[in-house]
Amino acid sequence: MALVDMSRSSAGVSPALRDRYRRVRADTLALTAPLSAEDQTIQSMPDTSPSKWHLAHTTWFFEEFVLAGGLPGYQRFDAEFSYLFNSYYNAVGPMHARPQRGLLSRPALTAVHRYREHVDAAMEQLFEVSSDDPAATALILLGTHHEQQHQELILTDIKHALACNPLLPVYTEGEAPASNARAMRFTEGVEGPVEIGHQGSGFHYDNEGPRHTVWLHRHALADRLVTNGEFRAFIDDGGYRTPALWLSEGWSTVQEQGWQRPYYWSEDLEREFTLHGEQAIDPHRPVCHLSYFEADAFARWAGARLPTEAEWESAASGETCPESLWQRGWLHPAPVRDTGNRQFHGQVWEWTASAYSAYPGYRPAAGAVGEYNGKFMCNQYVLRGGSCATPPAHLRTSYRNFFPTSARWQFSGLRLARDN
């Protein structure tokens, strides 16, 4: 996650920003509505967080960074919440250990809901009295996008928790889009100097800039994502048993973790767990829940490679974001038949071959919010495109997500690239 570039923010708290705040906050509550209080308290592994914690942390963000210094006379809901629901902002103060968030049976979910109501009421007051302050406006806008990131985490984290339940509970019902993916074709990419990075006045995180020039060599990218059926062929061909296909650390991880298939696939390779319950594996859907190591090994097996993030952004530039799966009530990747849709947005986060590092000229912001992004530029790889769990208004071509190479619980998949 990253920080908004405040230098491009407009002054004042506009009615549009107020409406956005209300809509985002309501969307978060809607995502947790299908879950019981017990569902929202559990933490199934250290990398995930309880839904209740997400509800509180996103609220803490507005309290800490917007209200505490921006609304005269603001009274915190509970002083202890600053410790319980801080995530990693060391400049703000100490925080409860991340792997132990699932031990927080108190405060109760009802108290967290009251906390959200308290902060929402104070934000409404701020909207009424706020002067034209670009910094405050930028922080509020950042807070809404931060919350949308946690909306995605609510879905990915509860999916992991529900999958740990032998009953394999359904998060929500959904109707799968029609199947039958088209044949994969490769499209030649731009060769020579190209510009990448955010441009324009819309929201972006600071790690999406500055915009700069990179040189691309001759290459081609696949016009769609790799499917379940194609990945099944990799498995059947001994992909998980062939060390020559794997990076050294990847092969060690396969051995240590006993990986034999994508996350959430059944042992017989016939079914996969989804937010809509366990379903038969559709060979035409994009494969997901892969680590960087698995994506890289598959690409090598296929006689290809992963694209760099510059190649990906160059190819995806100008692509419009189609109606998202989220908007259609389907929270899983879907096949593509439309030749005009190359699946660059809103299906799976696509692993790239690019290590996560700063663009030339990048500078983190001063103060606590500067911890949002820059300090994570180590031992991570970049993913692009957004997933079926990414809120539609949060998708954009310049978005740089990042995860460690062994992460599998996100909706992460791949697109093939090759040198021409």
Q: Which CATH number does the domain housing residue 326 bear?
A: 3.90.1580.10
- 202 in the same domain as 158: no
Q: What is the mean pLDDT of the chain?
A: 92
Nearest partner of 216 among 195, 198, 199, judged by Cα = 195
Which uninterrupted H or E stretch holds 186? strand 186-188
- 382 in the same domain as 239: yes
Q: Which domain holds residue 118?
A: 6-163
In a domain, 170, yes or no: no
pLDDT-derived band at 91, boundaries 50, 70, 90: confident
pLDDT-derived band at 136, boundaries 50, 70, 90: confident
Nearest partner of 354 among 330, 375, 386, 380, judged by Cα = 380
The label of the residue with tokens 């990448």 reads: 196
The one-letter code for the residue type at 326 is W
**How many structural domains compose the chain?**
2
pLDDT-derived band at 73, boundaries 50, 70, 90: very high
Domain termination site, one of 163, 194, 216: 163
Asked if residue 364 lies in contact with residue 3, where contact means CB atoms within 8 angstroms, the answer is yes
Tell me: the pLDDT tens digits for 323-367? 677 777 899 999 887 777 899 999 999 999 999 999 999 988 766
- 239 in the same domain as 361: yes
In a domain, 176, yes or no: no
In a domain, 219, yes or no: yes
- 282 in the same domain as 351: yes
Asked if residue 92 lies in contact with residue 38, where contact means CB atoms within 8 angstroms, the answer is no
Nearest partner of 203 among 155, 152, 142, judged by Cα = 142
- 248 in the same domain as 124: no
Nearest partner of 6 among 134, 177, 102, judged by Cα = 134
In a domain, 243, yes or no: yes
In a domain, 180, yes or no: no
- 137 in the same domain as 33: yes
Nearest partner of 288 among 408, 379, 180, judged by Cα = 408
Global confidence as pTM: 0.94
Q: Tell me the mean pLDDT in the region 248-263.
A: 98
Whether the ω angle into residue 107 lies within 30 degrees of 0, i.e. cis, is yes
Report the distance separating Cα 409 and Cα 247, nearest Å: 20
Name the percent of the chain lying above pLDDT 70: 94
pLDDT at 69: 86
- 199 in the same domain as 106: no
- 201 in the same domain as 155: no
Report the distance separating Cα 410 and Cα 306, nearest Å: 18
pLDDT exceeds 50 at position 9: no
- 79 in the same domain as 10: yes
pLDDT exceeds 70 at position 174: yes
- 328 in the same domain as 195: yes
Name the percent of the chain lying above pLDDT 90: 80
Q: To 10 degrees, the CA torsion angle through 323, 51, 375, 353?
A: -40
In a domain, 326, yes or no: yes
pLDDT exceeds 70 at position 187: yes
Identify the weakest region by mean pLDDT among 192-196, 271-275, 285-289, 326-330.
326-330
Pairing of strands 349-355, 412-413: parallel
For residue 194, which phi and psi values (nearest 5 degrees)? -135, 155
In a domain, 75, yes or no: yes
pLDDT exceeds 90 at position 294: yes
pLDDT at 370: 62
Domain termination site, one of 163, 197, 220: 163
In a domain, 168, yes or no: no
- 270 in the same domain as 190: yes
- 151 in the same domain as 223: no
Strand partners, 347: 387
Q: CA distances (Å), 290 to each of 269, 405, 413, in order?
A: 15, 10, 6
